[in-house]
């Protein structure tokens, strides 16, 4: 299922990042008649401040310098075109994607991420998206260590018009996940979305717990879960990169959900993530409403970022 966001809505949601990124770059370019080292240094600082990251920024500046020489570009005005093309190239570079098995009718999605990133709201919004497409959705509360988390997820399940499955507090999360998948199969459900803990209040390592859930769910069908979506808070900037690395080593997410993109001036982290990891950004959160989760379109993102 595909959930597209309008360009105008994306532009509005990226207003803070644009002000900290494109507008500052445009102002810097306008003050320089030629593409010289001073201009490149200013651009480097702007990119880093927008959380594009030191490594990715260095790569972009190097490509700018190289292409300017290749194309014999001396006028600073040409810089915006080249910069947009390079960033678009980074965002649209090939990623590893794990297509679902067409023989398996039930789609099982495992949602992972640290507490506070917006997992609960993203699950409700994602359920609503599938519901609007005519799907029957079941949400499973497998963060059994926090009663408040279960209660909050129940609220968002209701908003997302999804069925809800929970167990007793402190129950084995993997067992709850397995029961949810079996319930989904028995009820003819189209999508089962499994919530997980962001940290554990026991001596059990979180990543080991997530690996266990993944293994147990696969016992119902080797194809499960087809999707493992990692939820990241866009406002945390470079800290999001370390989270991707951590979860990638443990459970190999098939995609990312970036929340609160509308509330940060450092949306450049999207570029850094695309450059450093072979995990696609699948959805972006653009607000607090139930319909504020949208499919991420790399070309559209670059267009919105560089539009006047």
Q: Is the pTM of this model over 0.75?
A: yes
pLDDT average, residue stretch 54-68: 92
In this predicted model, what pLDDT tens digit does every residue of 255-306 receive, in sequence order? 999 998 888 877 888 899 989 987 888 999 888 889 889 888 888 888 888 8
pLDDT average, residue stretch 142-155: 90
pLDDT at res. 3: 43
Q: Which of 45, 40, 38 is nearest to 20 (CA)?
A: 45
- Whether 147 and 169 have beta carbons less than 8 Å apart is answered as yes
Whole-number Å distance between alpha carbons of 71 and 305: 24
pLDDT at res. 199: 84
């Amino acid at each position: 299922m595909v959930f597209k966001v309008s360009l105008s809505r994306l532009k509005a949601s990226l207003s803070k990042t644009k002000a900290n990124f494109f507008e500052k770059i445009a102002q810097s370019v306008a003050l320089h008649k030629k593409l010289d080292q001073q201009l490149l240094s200013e651009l480097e600082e702007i990119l880093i401040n927008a959380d594009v990251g030191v490594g990715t920024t260095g790569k972009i500046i190097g490509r700018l310098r190289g292409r300017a020489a290749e194309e014999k570009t001396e006028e600073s005005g040409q810089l915006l075109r080249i910069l947009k093309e390079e960033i678009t190239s980074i965002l649209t570079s090939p990623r590893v994607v794990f297509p679902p098995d067409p023989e398996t009718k039930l789609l099982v999605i495992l949602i992972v991420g640290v507490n506070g990133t917006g997992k609960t709201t993203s699950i409700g919004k994602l359920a609503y998206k599938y519901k609007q497409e005519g799907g029957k959705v079941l949400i499973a509360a497998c963060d059994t260590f926090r009663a408040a988390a279960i209660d909050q997820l129940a609220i968002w399940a209701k908003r997302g018009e999804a069925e809800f499955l929970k167990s007793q507090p402190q129950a084995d999360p993997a067992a709850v996940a397995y029961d949810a998948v079996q319930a989904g199969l028995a009820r003819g459900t189209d999508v089962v979305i499994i919530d997980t803990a962001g940290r554990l209040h026991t001596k059990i390592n979180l990543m080991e717990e997530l690996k266990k859930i993944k293994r147990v769910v696969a016992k119902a069908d080797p194809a499960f879960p087809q999707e493992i979506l990692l939820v990241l808070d866009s406002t945390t900037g470079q800290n999001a990169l370390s989270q991707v690395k951590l979860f990638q080593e443990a459970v190999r997410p098939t995609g990312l959900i970036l929340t609160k993109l509308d509330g940060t001036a450092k949306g450049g982290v999207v570029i850094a993530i695309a450059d450093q990891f072979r995990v696609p950004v699948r959805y972006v959160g653009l607000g607090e409403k139930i319909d504020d989760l949208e499919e991420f379109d790399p070309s559209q993102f670059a267009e919105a970022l560089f539009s006047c």
